[in-house]
Amino acid sequence: MDSPRFVTPPFDRRAWPMDGRLDYWNAPSSPDESGWPLRRYRLGSGARGRMLVLGGRGDMIEKYLEVIHHWAERGWAVTSFDWRGQGGSGRLTDDPFCGHIEDFGQWIADLNAFTADWRAEGEGPTAIVAHSMGGHLLLRALIEGMGAERMIAPDAAVTVAPMMGVHSAPLPRWLAVAIAETMCALGFDRKQAWTQKEESERQRHMRQKRLTHDPERYADELWWRDHSRDVALGPPSWRWVEQALHSTHLLATQPGLERIAVPLLMLAAQNDRLVSTPAIRRTAARVPGARLHVYGREAAHEILRELDPVRLDALARIDGFLDEVAPR
């Protein structure tokens, strides 16, 4: 008699893994003494090492449970958190759907403090994987600050579709900057910079195409937003737009990227409609030893949430890179 075959069930992207830990970590950089609570999630044994996964603007931990599970299965102790003001980490304006921050420096201060505690949690190689805005903030953190205020570099870093430039088309960048600065000066800094309509199937499909070719993974995001309304977030504030345009310009025009010594892998999509792929190419050329892979028409902005041919290829590239530069 043939022995029974045990098939691993597919990962349920709409449920928290049973063996994970969801809690809050208090960021010390806050006007009050209690700190700002950042929602944190941890999964995995850590036999391979420790990994920090950083999401992008408007993201929430739930969107990355599938890849967190993948790396936990490979032995990493994976940690992720929601940025201050989004996901399950509260809001910074009275509008619960407005993604706001006064200064990107606040997020970098949170990241520096968080990674200091994260590094102290265990031994072994460390890696940070960061998507979109998270990739931008990671690179800034690696080149800024002095002494205890500066992030201690991990053993390896991966940025996926990092926000090295913001698409402002059809407006030229200088006009986008002028408009954002004017709206902030007029007192609209904490207001939504645009509307995000998803009432119709056509509107949802248009947004999906900017993010991923996979309608099922896109539907997962909508499911989480519908079932956990406290994590739902809409468009950014005018201040966020002003800060994004300023911060990306700063990285592009000031020295600093050349000082990054951590092994870096960058993944990008040629037809990305949210961040600038030419800016990513220029960044990769400035970071010593950085490796860059650019996907073609098969990939949109959310590479790690793409259809499996792209997603699995990206995971294989990341895993191979980490095995090489951050061995056990």
Q: Name residue 222's amino acid.
A: L
Output the DSSP codes for 5-71: PPPPPPP-TTS--TT-EEEEEEES-SSSTT-EEEEEEEES--SSEEEEEE--TT--GGGGHHHHHHH
- 324 pLDDT exceeds 60? yes
What pLDDT digit, counting tens, does each position of 177-229 carry?
A: 999 999 999 999 999 999 877 777 888 889 999 999 999 999 999 999 999 88
pLDDT confidence of residue 314: 98
H or E element, residue 264: strand 264-269
Task: Kindly state the DSSP code that residue 166 receives in the 8-state scheme.
Answer: B
**Residue 237 backbone dihedrals phi, psi, to 5 degrees:** -80, 165
Rounded Cα distance between 324 and 31, Å, is 42
**pLDDT-derived band at 31, boundaries 50, 70, 90:** low
Q: For 122-139, what is the mean pLDDT?
A: 97
Contact 79, 64 (CB under 8 A): no
Query: Can you give the pLDDT at residue 309?
Result: 98
pLDDT > 50? residue 57: yes
> What size, in residues, is the chain?
328
- Nearest residue to 79 (alpha-carbon basis) of 89, 71, 91: 71
pLDDT computed for residue 4 by the predictor: 52
b/e 71-90 (16+ beta carbons within 10 angstroms → b): bbebbbbbbbbbbbbbbbbb
Residue 196's pLDDT is 78
pLDDT at 9: 75
Per-residue model confidence as pLDDT tens digits over 66-119: 999 999 999 999 999 999 999 999 999 999 999 999 999 999 999 999 999 999
Residues 211 and 304 sit within 8 Å (Cβ to Cβ): no
The CA distances from residue 191 to 10, 179, 230, 233, 242, in Å, are: 41, 14, 19, 13, 12
Confidence of residue 1 (pLDDT cuts 50, 70, 90): very low
Distance (Å, whole) CA 71 – CA 77: 8
Helical packing angle, 173-183 and 238-253, nearest 10°: 140
- Is 25 in contact with 114 (CB distance < 8 Å)? yes
Report whether 236 contacts 191 (CB < 8 A): no
Phi, psi for 51 (deg, rounded to 5): -130, 140
Q: 124: alpha, beta or left, given left = phi > 0 and alpha = psi -120 to 50?
A: left
Q: What are phi and psi of 93, to 5 degrees?
A: -135, 175
CA distance 245 to 174: 9
251-278 pLDDT tens trace? 999 999 999 999 999 999 999 999 999 9
Give the pLDDT confidence of 151-174 residue by residue, as tens digits.
Answer: 889 999 999 999 999 988 889 999
3-class SS of residue 171: coil
Domain ranges of the chain: 25-325
* Residue 164 DSSP label: S
pLDDT recorded at residue 266: 99
- pLDDT tens for 276-312 read 999 999 999 999 999 999 999 999 999 999 999 999 9
Per the DSSP assignment, residues forming a β-bridge with 128 are: 52, 157
Q: What pLDDT does residue 7 have?
A: 54
Question: Is domain 25-325 classified as CATH 3.40.309.10?
Answer: no
Average pLDDT of the residues in 239-246: 98
Half-sphere exposure of 293 (CA within 13 A, CB side): 17
DSSP letters, 88-141, are: TS--SSS-TT-B--S-HHHHHHHHHHHHHHHHTT--S-EEEEEETHHHHHHHHH
Count the alpha carbons within 13 Å of 25 in the hemisphere toward its beta carbon.
Answer: 21
How far apart (Å, rounded) are the C-alpha atoms in residues 152 and 150?
Answer: 6
> Which residues have a Cβ under 8 Å from the Cβ of 6 and sit 6 or more positions away?
none
